[in-house]
Structure 1
């Protein structure tokens, strides 16, 4: 009895090793008549009959059979309607999810006009086989166990902490909406500014040689010296302002000068009124004296009134001062 059970188990295992995925039932079946094509793959893994066939993301048919060859697998597909498949199309077996249903995806690589004829073949050089399911699950396991999900959660929590309160966010969004509305209502002003810039550019273009000269080495030296000049003026002007502001102490002096000017003015007016007498004094008295200085002593007396002019004359004559 045990021997019979062991033999049955071996038969089941051996039978499972020769199981063809194409013989598995699928709930997806093609409908209607259409052209057939053959796609060659190195390996189709668990691709069953009835799987979808897509072209650039659109379903165009379904798998009608999977045939094992010596060094590849032929996947026969029936296309619904009149579908033009380019001869340089690439094919691959994909799954939308890790455990999702596999399907054949055809992707056009160019806009060529030559198409695959009915019953045509997409060779092995233009196909890509799917990775083993074990490898996919291993990648997913590494992704989950490697902390990537935890890192993503930490990033989301950090972003939530950095973002303001929802009410503040709504307030900012409302203000932004108002600003955008105001900006959209003022596009005429923006258009006017752009037209002004365009007119300015048209006006500047004829003067580009002068602008280039202004921006040359000599021009930049000029602007540098001009900047230094204005910087010096900027230092002097506040100083003048401080002197002007602090010059109130000069007011008494200025008032005194004003009075002095008035006095001098009166003297000048008096000189003008006595111009004739002044001219006579200068011409008849001062200038002759300056040309021939001399002194005529008429009288000399002591404090008690005694006349001593004769004695003085004798003394001066003895000294040789007079004759």
Structure 2
């Protein structure tokens, strides 16, 4: 029976020690540095920061985050730091990754002037804070590389990037070497790309210099297109009328072609006849002035000319009319 009370005493002592140790651990976690000073920091993005997250200076834990609250479009992080740590008035606060599982901590770094200390309940403005690195944006930066790689190569590169950020696997140099190796297929195009950009520069300069004219041109084209769209029925009718007119002209030309061909043939024959009788025609034209002079002289005052009409014949269009007037005169007999 004496063994049972002794065992109970030992159990009680053990339970008491365990309770004291638990209270010590909890107290240490809640107040790890004795008296703490409260500060505030304003971030544009405090994703991943939550109450209990570490506050570190040069990688050493000096405090913890007490509260995260939304203030308009910014996040106000309230944190406590051991009072033996001097926080400069121009200190910079940055949210950093504690691990790739999403844990974050607030890193404090001194600014350029450490002579003034940030007062208790002081606030680090948003101009002196920076959000955590966006891994999504980081991997999106590798998107052009991923588009040129095979799925297996993309998976291998992704694994190596994750391994580097986890502190495992190859070093940064090995990672960069892998990226260089994977991009050799299109690295040789740098010269061509540079030449294209150099050729585009004068075009861009000219376009920028005539920005207002370019805007007016675009506006004018817009108005022209709008006007054409508004009058599309009229334009369509005009095009239809033009097509009909062209058809009518073609039909008229087809009908007149035989007559025109006949006239051209007759004109060709006349030209041939004139060409064949050019010498008599030239002689007649050469003698014409003398003949006209004599005729004119007979018509002058004091002159006389007798004309005897013996016979008269008229032909037109293949039809002939003849009038036997004489011979009534002795000249015609």
TM-score category by the smaller chain?
A: 0.3 to 0.5
Q: Give the TM-score of the pair, scaled to structure 1.
A: 0.35
Q: Point out the structure with the larger strand share.
A: 2
